[in-house]
Amino acid sequence: MIEIGPATEDEMIAAFLQAEINSSRYGDRIKLALQLSGFSRAAIDVPDTSDADANAMRRWVLGSYRGYPNAALFTGFPPVTWHRARLEPADFQRMRYANELPTLVALSGPTRLVADGARNFVAGVPAAVGMDHIADIIAAIEAGRSFPPLIAAEDTDGSLILIEGHSRATAYAITGLSDNIDAFVGRAASFAAWHYH
């Protein structure tokens, strides 16, 4: 992992929403929350993290559908300092899925390793059925499309646990595009109490 420097919570939240606003799973919920807030989509697509009102809105949106900072996906999540980093191929060998996505955890098996999920996807194991969105991301990567940074927690053993970007990370591992991938990495004394650790 190549350390780039510190990041703010507001930057991480903006990246999280950028990554999920077009998702079939969460996009409609984000767009509805945007409408309710009175902000335009530009507040996510081109975020100004110096705007306190927009930061508060984005934090509210992430809380409304993902439970940030201490419910749903973030149940038991500790206080975190955020950092920007560039991931290297070795990071993908020690990267795990959060223990919240039954389909991807089934794809990787008990290790939850992204590398195992990628290998099993390519091998066409039964757990890979219905994961066409990963194939779509692979096609987009191969066409030169770029994506928002991955968001991960750095565990005490140095491994990374994905918080956001599970399918993208799998696609990166499959394509071999695992060098210089931008990420927000959260660090804390321990993530052991996080429900999806």
What gap in Å lies between CA 155 and CA 157, rounded to an integer?
Answer: 5
Statement to judge: residues 50 and 113 lie in one domain: no
CATH of the domain at 162: 3.90.1530
pLDDT value, residue 101 = 72
Q: For the chain, what is the domain count?
A: 2
Statement to judge: residues 45 and 98 lie in one domain: no
Average pLDDT over the chain, rounded to an integer: 94
Residue 158: which residues within 8 A CB-CB, separation 6 or more?
A: 94
Q: What is the pLDDT of residues 47-78, one digit of tens each?
A: 999 999 999 999 999 999 999 999 999 999 99
What gap in Å lies between CA 170 and CA 119, rounded to an integer?
Answer: 9
Q: For residue 17, how many other CB atoms are within 10 A of its CB? A: 26
Give the domain range for residue 182.
76-187
Considering the domain boundaries, does residue 196 fall inside one? no
| Rg, the chain, Cα only | 16
Q: What is the pLDDT of residues 98-124, one digit of tens each?
A: 998 788 888 999 999 999 999 999 998
Statement to judge: residues 51 and 93 lie in one domain: no
Q: What is the pLDDT of residues 3-43, one digit of tens each?
A: 999 999 999 999 999 999 998 889 999 999 999 999 999 99
Burial class (CB in 10 A: 0-12, 13-18, 19+), 68: buried
Statement to judge: residues 123 and 51 lie in one domain: no
Considering the domain boundaries, does residue 27 fall inside one? yes
What gap in Å lies between CA 9 and CA 175, rounded to an integer?
Answer: 30
* Average of per-residue pLDDT across 142-149: 94
Statement to judge: residues 93 and 165 lie in one domain: yes
Considering the domain boundaries, does residue 46 fall inside one? yes
Considering the domain boundaries, does residue 86 fall inside one? yes
Q: What is the pLDDT of residues 158-183, one digit of tens each?
A: 999 999 999 999 999 999 988 899 99
Q: Which helix (H) or strand (E) holds 65?
A: helix 52-66
Half-sphere exposure (CA, 13 Å, Cβ side) for 112?
A: 16
Whole-model pTM? 0.95
In contact, 179 and 85? CB cutoff 8 Å? no
Considering the domain boundaries, does residue 149 fall inside one? yes
Statement to judge: residues 80 and 174 lie in one domain: yes
Statement to judge: residues 161 and 114 lie in one domain: yes
Statement to judge: residues 132 and 66 lie in one domain: no
Considering the domain boundaries, does residue 193 fall inside one? no
Given 72, 89, 119, which residue is the final one in a domain?
72
Considering the domain boundaries, does residue 195 fall inside one? no
pLDDT value, residue 130 = 80
Considering the domain boundaries, does residue 119 fall inside one? yes
Statement to judge: residues 89 and 122 lie in one domain: yes
Quote the percentage of the chain above a pLDDT of 70.
100
